[in-house]
């Protein structure tokens, strides 16, 4: 109703296509994200921004509305990328841009990245870190219908320690470093941890992201050393859960992963050097794993491009990049719960679906890879009631591709149709004009 009122007032005329209200979608095949099975012809009935009905076969005579014929395509639930950074993007000038660009520069560019992500079939994302809370503004603009993009659940700025992967002043000369504190997401001790989480609540974040290990793209020396104490992690988690937040933990190193899981985080991101003990601990605690193989592949490639990264970053990329895919396969075989995530921004936005191919190459079945981006990611977000399946009552988030993605997972890289919340954004392989 809100979108209809705005459209009537002319406020969304330049921002989004008209709502496909009371639409009837005819699907040639339908992916059931609960069972992982590909079903035959189905009809999906949309009323407003929700799915009203789903049933086998053709529409009934009582089901009237805008007929959307996808009978030559396979329909799937809107895809979810559980690890993105929509307010930045890799570039050979990234390390110098930060000294020239303002927050507004990143925010404006984020609207382009968001649109590309939606066009790729990703109707919801977790945004796990930005520079100055600009992803919160992007989320709000998308929700208001001002710009098109996926449904965003954002962590705002990441939380970490002085000089750690979350400290954006790594590599600066001393007079520019300052002393970032909890307001900027930099903590040193339990009290700081509580303050940082409360600041995120005040800022309007949806969840919390911590950095308990080193990382690839910061300008410090280690990709995997532990950078938060167990007590600090427990404090962040306790504070976050008080405020209804989940906690995602960037962690490459074995010890950092162990501390994060023991500290009670909800997901491990990357997990590059995860060992058998870590995997068993994650299974016991029910901790999710988000591999981000695409990011590993990309940094490994760019590390061989002279000048693309500073030398210390290139060295870390060569160490981490080749490991993530193998770790993902081992984690799947060990029974660790996996949700789909790519670390978009480390590679160019809109290429998120490459992750499916890399997951399958790692030995993860295509059906599970698709479940990871639908059912599993929705569960990780705590939004299974709204997302992750084509079922009555859930948001009308529908994507469609040619052929059988279970037989050829690369079909997911060429999305033909995208509907988010009842609004069609892509049809016949092309963006829908406003």
The 10s digit of each residue's pLDDT in 326-372 is 999 999 999 999 999 999 999 999 999 999 999 999 999 999 999 99
Asked whether residue 65 falls in the same domain as residue 172, the answer is no
DSSP state of 259: H
Q: Which of 9-13, 64-68, 403-407 has the highest mean pLDDT?
A: 403-407
Asked whether residue 186 falls in the same domain as residue 234, the answer is yes
**Mean pLDDT, residues 371-395:** 98
**DSSP secondary structure, 34-98, as one string:** TTTEEES-EEEEEETTEEEEEEESSPPTT--SEEEEEEEEEEEEPEEEEEE-TT----TTHHHHT
The 10s digit of each residue's pLDDT in 38-97 is 999 999 999 999 999 999 998 887 777 799 999 999 999 999 999 999 999 999 999 888
DSSP state of 399: E
Asked whether residue 377 falls in the same domain as residue 395, the answer is no
- Please tell me the predicted confidence (pLDDT) of residue 178: 78
Phi, then psi, of 54 in degrees rounded to 5: -140, 130
Phi, then psi, of 46 in degrees rounded to 5: -115, 130
**Mean pLDDT, residues 161-186:** 80
Asked whether residue 164 falls in the same domain as residue 258, the answer is yes
| Count of structural domains within the chain | 2
Q: How many CB atoms lie within 10 A of CB 244?
A: 10
Asked whether residue 303 falls in the same domain as residue 241, the answer is yes
CA angle (289 as vertex; 288, 293 as ends), nearest 5: 155
Asked whether residue 182 falls in the same domain as residue 293, the answer is yes
What 3-state DSSP class applies to 402? strand
- Please tell me the predicted confidence (pLDDT) of residue 12: 36
- Does 11 have pLDDT greater than 60? no
- Please tell me the predicted confidence (pLDDT) of residue 172: 75
**DSSP secondary structure, 222-242, as one string:** -SSSB-S-HHHHHHHHHHHHH
Q: What is the DSSP pairing of strand 186-187 with strand 160-161?
A: parallel
Asked whether residue 33 falls in the same domain as residue 105, the answer is no
8 Å CB contact between 168 and 98:
yes
271: closest CA among 221, 213, 217? Answer: 213
- Does 1 have pLDDT greater than 50? no
- Does 6 have pLDDT greater than 50? no
Print the domain residue range for 372: 79-381
State the CATH number of the domain containing residue 70.
Answer: 2.30.40.10
Helix 254-263 × helix 230-242 angle, to 10°:
40
Choose the final residue of a domain: 357, 381, 405.
381
The 10s digit of each residue's pLDDT in 241-300 is 999 999 999 999 999 999 999 999 999 999 999 999 999 999 999 999 999 999 999 999
- Please tell me the predicted confidence (pLDDT) of residue 65: 78
- Please tell me the predicted confidence (pLDDT) of residue 365: 98
The 10s digit of each residue's pLDDT in 110-143 is 999 999 999 999 999 999 999 999 999 999 999 9
- Does 9 have pLDDT greater than 50? no
The 10s digit of each residue's pLDDT in 13-50 is 334 444 344 899 999 999 999 999 999 999 999 999 99
Give the range among 5-19, 162-176, 197-211 with minimum mean pLDDT: 5-19
Asked whether residue 255 falls in the same domain as residue 280, the answer is yes
State the CATH number of the domain containing residue 320.
Answer: 3.20.20.140
Asked whether residue 105 falls in the same domain as residue 55, the answer is no
Asked whether residue 66 falls in the same domain as residue 94, the answer is no
What 3-state DSSP class applies to 124? strand
Asked whether residue 125 falls in the same domain as residue 30, the answer is no
- Does 433 have pLDDT greater than 80? no
Please give the share of the chain, as a percent, with pLDDT higher than 90: 83
* E strands present in 225-307: 247-251, 267-270, 288-290
- In angstroms, what is the C-alpha Rg of the chain? 21
The 10 Å CB-count burial string (b at 16+, else e) for 323-333 is bbbebbbbbbe
- Please tell me the predicted confidence (pLDDT) of residue 434: 54
Calculate the average pLDDT of the chain.
Answer: 92
Asked whether residue 415 falls in the same domain as residue 343, the answer is no
């Amino acid at each position: 109703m809100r979108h209809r009122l705005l459209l009537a007032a002319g406020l969304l005329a330049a921002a989004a296509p008209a709502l496909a209200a009371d639409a009837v979608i005819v699907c040639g095949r339908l992916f059931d994200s609960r069972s992982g099975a590909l079903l035959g012809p189905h009809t999906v009935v949309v009323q407003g921004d929700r799915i009203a009905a789903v049933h086998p076969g053709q529409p009934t005579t009582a089901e009237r509305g805008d007929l959307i014929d996808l009978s030559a395509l396979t329909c799937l639930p809107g895809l979810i990328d559980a690890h993105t950074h929509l307010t930045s993007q890799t570039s050979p000038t990234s390390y110098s841009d930060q000294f020239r660009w303002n927050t507004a520069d990143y925010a404006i560019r984020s609207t382009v990245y968001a649109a590309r992500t939606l066009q790729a079939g990703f109707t919801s994302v977790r945004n796990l870190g930005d520079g100055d809370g600009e992803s919160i503004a992007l989320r709000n603009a998308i929700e208001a219908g001002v710009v098109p993009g996926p449904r965003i659940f954002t962590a705002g700025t990441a939380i970490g320690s002085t000089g750690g992967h979350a400290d954006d002043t790594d590599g600066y000369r001393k007079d520019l470093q300052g002393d970032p504190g909890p307001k900027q997401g930099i903590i040193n001790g339990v009290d700081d941890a509580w303050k940082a989480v409360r600041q995120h609540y005040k800022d309007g974040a949806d969840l919390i992201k911590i950095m308990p290990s080193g990382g690839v793209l910061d300008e410090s020396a280690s990709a995997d050393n532990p950078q938060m104490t167990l007590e600090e992690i427990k404090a962040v988690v306790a504070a976050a859960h008080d405020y209804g937040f989940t906690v995602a933990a960037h962690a490459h190193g074995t010890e950092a992963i162990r501390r994060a899981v023991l500290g009670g985080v909800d997901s491990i991101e990357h997990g590059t050097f995860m060992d058998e003990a870590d995997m068993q601990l994650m299974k016991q605690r029910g901790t999710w794993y988000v591999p981000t193989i695409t990011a590993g592949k990309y940094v490994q490639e760019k590390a061989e491009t002279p000048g693309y990264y500073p030398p210390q970053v290139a060295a870390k990329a060569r160490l981490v990049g080749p490991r993530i895919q193998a770790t993902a396969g081992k984690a799947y075989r060990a029974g660790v719960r996996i949700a789909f995530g790519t670390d978009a921004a480390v590679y160019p936005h809109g290429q998120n679906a490459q992750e499916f191919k890399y997951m399958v190459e790692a030995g993860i079945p295509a059906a599970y890879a698709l479940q990871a981006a639908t059912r599993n990611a929705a569960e990780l977000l705590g939004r299974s009631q709204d997302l992750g399946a084509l079922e009555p009552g859930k948001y009308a988030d529908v994507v469609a591709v040619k052929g059988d993605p279970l037989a050829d997972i690369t079909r997911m890289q060429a999305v033909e149709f995208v509907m988010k919340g009842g609004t069609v954004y892509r049809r016949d392989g092309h963006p829908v004009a406003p």
